[in-house]
Chain A
């Protein structure tokens, strides 16, 4: 299998990352204590942040060699903080796609993406009326619909109950496997990692924090 990402001696915000290799087409889970740099790692991978030192290689080329927007559109990061516009689910798809100057996906595609995220709701539902967990699933479905070769999910199940979390991660895992896409997930839930991860990367607790404790 080809290597998708490899990190060598990467430092950022005073944290030293271990050398990490992530294989293409796999589902990889990243776990670790709060403050160990999981979310920052994702920002390094999609190029919205820059490492202070060290090298990050994506598909055998240093990450700086890529055109930043193109990289970001290929290595799609679904952040932890959910943001949805006012209006319905359908409106959100339309607005988000407008920002990419792309035609909005069909209703069938939108519903399929929502179904993968374990959300069975009509597209005209107003997002303001959704619960936190429902909003998170709409958010993931939006990003999922772009069908990128790499998908980074930061705590996708933070607002979900264990049953729904397993169902959603299972569906996303199967979907990405079928498409040959790589899925990287940050999660606190070890049972999810044990169930779906091909690779499980546990980031070490930073020394800074150990000193405090």
Chain B
């Protein structure tokens, strides 16, 4: 098998023609997200170029601290992304989310790299890409779950007030909404498991095949990473919401749902 052909920059640039086609269609259909698409594609280009340069440098100068530092930076960025999208959460809830994301992301990554793949966690070639997939998916899942959870709380003020007056424990009142959010967060992962291999070949599998890995080896990695992603989403969301629920009521069992308005 051949490893992936080098992509000359000029031919690589051809792919941006597709982007122009999308932009043209969006303009025609009067979709007002053209600015966002341009920003997003430019950011993606710049971020990936930087990541490519950085990874090349790290692979040339391997050092355990560099690998760990890279992973830590990924975790911190993921936490920042999630929290910046959910400013309505109270301070304690934000800490719970940060700890859950970091804890479950690192735990699953450690398990995957050390036990499943069987290499040292400081091995940049494995830890960094796998860490990106695991932590990135945890971030997306958590963000989705928190969106659903916050929307549910906001849309159900009547239900919350009624059950509170009914004398139900605040934890019991909020728990079904937390469970619904966990379900919502897991659905995309589960759905992608259902479709995988029939219609589409997932990114990591495609990448490995392009790089010349035997498909039989590549699918093992793919199956493993999909289960790891499912696990990390489940763990991060469950911990965030399960422990986060406790921050939603005070010692008088009154619900405190939003940040107090700033004066």
- With A47-B252, A69-B253 already in contact, the answer to whether A78 and B158 are too (CB < 8 A) is no
Residues of chain B within 8 A of A79, CB atoms compared: 161-162, 165
Q: How far is the CA of A76 from the CA of B168 in the complex (A)?
A: 11
A99: contacting residue among B172, B253, B254, CB under 8 A: B172
Interface residues on B, range: 10 to 19
Does A167 interact with chain B (Cβ within 8 Å)? no
Q: Shortest CB–CB separation between residue A67 and chain B, in angstroms?
A: 9
> Is there contact, CB below 8 Å, between A78 and B168?
no
A50 and B166 contact, Cβ closer than 8 Å, known pairs A83-B158, A83-B161, A99-B172? no
Q: Is A48 an interface residue (CB 8 A)?
A: yes
Does B164 sit within 8 A of A, measured CB to CB? yes
Nearest B-chain residue to A73, judged by Cβ: B167
Q: How many Cβ-Cβ contacts under 8 Å join chain A to chain B?
A: 52
Alpha-carbon distance A69/B165, docked complex (angstroms): 9
Tell which of B166, B169, B172, B253 touches A143, judged by Cβ atoms closer than 8 Å.
B166
Q: How far is the CB of A34 from chain B (nearest CB, A)?
A: 19
Q: Is B27 in the interface zone, CB < 8 Å from A? A: no
Collect the chain A residues with CB atoms within 8 Å of residue B163's CB: 83, 96, 99
**A106 at the A/B interface (Cβ < 8 Å)?**
no
Q: Check B169–A69 contact: CB distance below 8 A.
A: yes
- The residues in A between 141 and 165 inclusive whose CB is less than 8 angstroms from any CB of B are 143, 146
CA distance A79 to B161 in the complex (A): 8
A68 within 8 A of B: yes
Write out the residue numbers on chain B whose beta carbons fall within 8 Å of the beta carbon of A48: 164-165, 254
Contact of A69 with B167 at beta-carbon distance under 8 Å, contacts A47-B252, A49-B254 already known:
yes
In this complex, what residue of A is CB-closest to B157?
Answer: A81
B161 touches A81 (CB 8 A): yes
Assess whether B80 is interfacial by the CB under 8 Å rule. Answer: no
| A30 touches B (CB below 8 Å) | no
- Could you mark each residue 225-254 of chain B with 1 if its beta carbon is under 8 Å from any beta carbon of chain A, else 0? 000000000000000000000000001111
User: In whole angstroms, what is the CA distance A68 to B167 when docked?
Assistant: 9
Query: Within 8 Å CB of A76, what residues of B?
Result: 165-167
CA A32 – CA B127 in complex, angstroms?
68
Bound-state CA distance A139–B162 (Å) is: 10
Whether A127 is near chain B, meaning CB under 8 Å from some CB there, is no
Q: Is the Cβ of B167 less than 8 Å from the Cβ of A100?
A: yes
> Shortest distance in angstroms between B153's beta carbon and chain A's nearest beta carbon?
14
A100 contacts B168, C-beta separation under 8 Å: yes
Q: Is the CB of A96 within 8 A of B166?
A: yes
- B114 contacts chain A at the CB level, 8 A cutoff: no
List of B residues within 8 angstroms of A185 by Cβ: none
Which of A46, A49, A96, A99 is packed against the most chain B CB atoms within 10 Å?
A99
Bound together, the chains give a CA A73 to CA B167 distance in angstroms of 5
Contacts of A46 in B (CB 8 A): 165
Establish whether residues A78 and B167, one from each chain, have CB atoms under 8 Å apart when the complex forms. no
Interface: B99 (CB within 8 A)? no
A49 to B250, CA, bound (A): 11
B158 in contact with A72 (CB, 8 Å): no
- A48 to B162 Cα, complex, angstroms: 11
Tell me the bound Cα distance from A72 to B167 in angstroms: 6
Is the CB–CB distance between A72 and B159 below 8 Å? Answer: no
> Please, which residues of chain B bring their CB within 8 A of the CB of A96?
163, 166
Q: Mark B35-74, 1 if CB is under 8 A from A, else 0.
A: 0000000000000000000000000000000000000000
**Residue among A50, A68, A81 making CB contact with B162, cutoff 8 Å:** A81
- By Cβ-Cβ distance, the 9 closest A-B pairs, closest first, are A73-B167, A83-B162, A99-B168, A77-B165, A83-B158, A68-B253, A68-B252, A81-B158, A72-B167
A-B residue pairs in contact (CB < 8 Å), sample of 17 = A48-B165, A48-B254, A49-B254, A68-B253, A69-B253, A72-B253, A76-B166, A76-B167, A77-B165, A81-B161, A82-B158, A83-B159, A100-B166, A100-B167, A100-B168, A139-B162, A146-B167
